[in-house]
Every structure is written in structure tokens, then in C-alpha cells.
Structure 1
Amino acid sequence: MSHSAQEPIDRIDERGAAASALACLDRCLPLLGSPPDGLPDDLLRPLWHCVAEGGADWTDRLAGVRARVADAADAGAGQGPAAAGPAGAVVRDMLAGAPSGWEGAALRAWAGVCAAAALDVHERLGGGPLADGEERRQAQILDFLADAPAAAAGLRPVLEVSAEGRRVLRAVVSRRGRGA
């Protein structure tokens, strides 16, 4: 994570921290495979709902998402080259590192770890414009969350920026899978 991201993460509330971390994780989901063989784009939807609701049922919803990832791995879904390699492990580690409780300090620490991991993955997959784009998306999301708490403004802009990043990374993973 760039030094420019840590300061805004330290200033955001629980919802903002959880949204920031989820957005990083969301953008990296293509590394676990793409539908129909990989995990669905809406995998994190229960956690996004939880953020919108201020942490309601965080522990249960997090356990449910983790179980879906584990079930997919057991069933062989999402086991393409990216999912099986270090990049896929980083994404699984990001999810595993999510705090089981809804507490500000733990969520901010997770957001910092996720931001660093997402940037590292983008550096490994191509660096340059790919990593610059990830850093820009992180800054956009953190600016939004700092300016307007997630509860007050809604999460739509965060989700839109995250979806853009997921599409970019999916294209990179797809090109790599084709050997291009």
C-alpha cells in the first residue's frame, strides 16, 4: 500500500474501513477464477449488505462467504492458473484476514492489509499502468469514504469503482490464460 492510502484509512469509520477492504478484495476476485467455472462476481454481496447495515450479522455473513470460497476450492471451481498460484493465495489470504468482529481498529488494519495486497498483486501481474490504475481506484474510494461516510452516501460509487477494477483485472487474467 502506498503511504498515501494509510492516512485516509486511519481516519475512516468502521463502515468505511470495511468498504475499503471489501473493495480491494472485490477487485481481486478474478484471481479466483471467473464464472462459470470460478466464483461469482456477487460473492461478496452478503458482506456489502452488512456494511450498508452498519455491521449487522458481520460474523455470520463472513463465515458464509468463507464457506463458499472453501466449497468452491473443494469442488475444483476457480482452480485455473491464477487461482492456483500466488495471486489466488493472496486473495484467499485477504478474505481469511478479515476480522470476525465488527471493530474499527481491526477493520482499519484489515483495510490496510487488503490495500497493500491488492496493489502488490497488480504490481506482480504487470505493474505500470495496471498498478497505477489500482492505486488510483484505491485513492478514489478512500476519498469518497473520507468525504461522505458510507452510511450517509451509500456504497454505489465504491461498488462502481470496484467493478471497473474487477473488469480490468479479469481482462488481464484472461489474456494471461490465453498465453497472450
Structure 2
Amino acid sequence: MSLVELIGQADERGLAASGLACLDRCVPLLGGDDEILRPLWAGLAEDAGGAEWGERLEQVRGKLGGDGEFGAADGEPGRPGSGAGSGSGSGDDEAVLLARRMLAAAPVERSAAGVRAWADACSVAALQIHRLLDPLKDAGDSVDARREGRTEGMSPLVAAELRRQITVLELLAGHGPAGLRPALEVSTEGRRVLRAVVSRRSRRRG
């Protein structure tokens, strides 16, 4: 099943976990530590209705400086990072911008419609971030093709990110709340990989 199909079939908790996992893997671009999103992960496990999601989200935004300046108006509404990358800055700058848009676009109310749009947007943005930062070129025309199952010629970072997105959705679909812990472990692995990539690129620039 393609990533697009998995997102289309996911329930509210699975969608929220999918979007949160994408954002979690990109935390190194936002200057956050490894624990910054733990309250949101805990909220998914504790509160099926998402009553405390909005409050915890605003706390995270305050710590990371995500006050909405990179909202949906700065790009395609509700779907940040859907293009192939046309910013005038470097790939690193564009990757940071996409990560900030993911945080800014997170819905304060965890409704099914809101988290579905956010999960889809985060999926695209996270794949585009990995495409921008991969030292090897991805041969595909767009990340949308990857999400639809056309995987020929994928670069290593993009392939790994696609695999993690699919795994998170499969874990939540197959195990419900019990899938949150292994989903977090998958995301933690991806965050470590991206942090190493960001560190290497920083050393090269230095």
C-alpha cells in the first residue's frame, strides 16, 4: 500500500502520530532537543480526544519560536513544502523553513479533518527536507511520486524517510495506542540520522 493510501485510511490518532513523527525527525533543524516533543507524544497515548493537545502544542511552539510566522499563507495552504523547492536560499535554509512551516501548521484542535491535512502536509515537507539535505540526487520528479509508490532511483535519505513514514502509519493502524511507542522509536532513529546529516553539512560549511 502506498503512503498516500495509508494516510487516506488512517484514523485521527494515526494521522496525528504521523504528522508528529515527521516533525519530530526534523527537530534538529529547529534547534530543539530530543525531548522537546515528548509532551505531545504523551498526549496521544493519554488522551484519545486530544483535550490537552492544543495547550501542549503552544508550549512547544513557545520553546521553538514557532509563533505562526511561517503559516499556510507562506506557500500552499495546509500543505507546506509540496513543491520541488523553488526558494532563493540554500537547501539548508529551505529545509529549515519547511520544518518551521510544519510546526506552524499544526492544528490546535486535534480534529480528524485538521490532522489529516497536517499529516499530509508534514509527509510532503519531511520528504522534501530529506531530498534537499541528501548529498546524493533523488532521481524522481517530485516527492509526490514517491508517496504514490513510484520509488525508482530514490536517494538514500529520501528512501529511509519514506520507509519510516510508512512504518509509523502501519504501526498505528495495526496496533492502535500500543503502536505509539514503536512509532516513537522509529522517529527517534530518523531524528538521529538527520541530526548527523545536519552536523556534517555544518562542518563542511565551516
TM-score (norm 2): 0.73
Preserved CA contact (<8 Å) 2:171 2:179? no
Written as runs of structure 1 = structure 2, the 5 A alignment for 1:134-153 is: 134-149=161-176, 151=177, 153=178
Q: Which runs of 4+ in 1 moved over 6 A?
A: none
Q: Which residue type is aligned with residue 7 of structure 1?
A: E
Q: Which has the higher helix share?
A: 1
Report % sequence identity: 54
Which residue of 12, 19, 22 corresponds with 1:21?
19
Q: Distance in 2 between matches of 1:137 and 1:12?
A: 15
Show CA shifts across 1:104-141 (max 9, x none).
Answer: 11111111100110000111111410111101111111
Q: Distance in 2 between matches of 1:43 and 1:104?
A: 24
Count of paired positions: 162
* Residue 56 of structure 1: how far off its partner (Å): 2.8
1:75 aligned residue: none
Show CA shifts across 1:41-82 (max 9, x none).
Answer: 1111111111112213111111111111118xxxxxxxxxx9
Q: Structure 2 unaligned runs (5+)?
A: 67-89, 139-154
Secondary structure in 1 aligned to 2:169?
helix
* Residue 148 of structure 1: how far off its partner (Å): 1.8
Preserved CA contact (<8 Å) 2:7 2:169? yes
Aligned residues: CA RMSD: 2.1
2:10 aligned residue: 12
1:93 aligns with 2:104: no
Preserved CA contact (<8 Å) 1:30 1:170? yes
1:175 aligns with 2:183: no
Which residue of 58, 67, 70 corresponds with 2:53?
58
TM-score (norm 1): 0.83
Q: Which residue type is aligned with residue 172 of structure 1?
A: V
Secondary structure in 2 aligned to 1:56?
coil
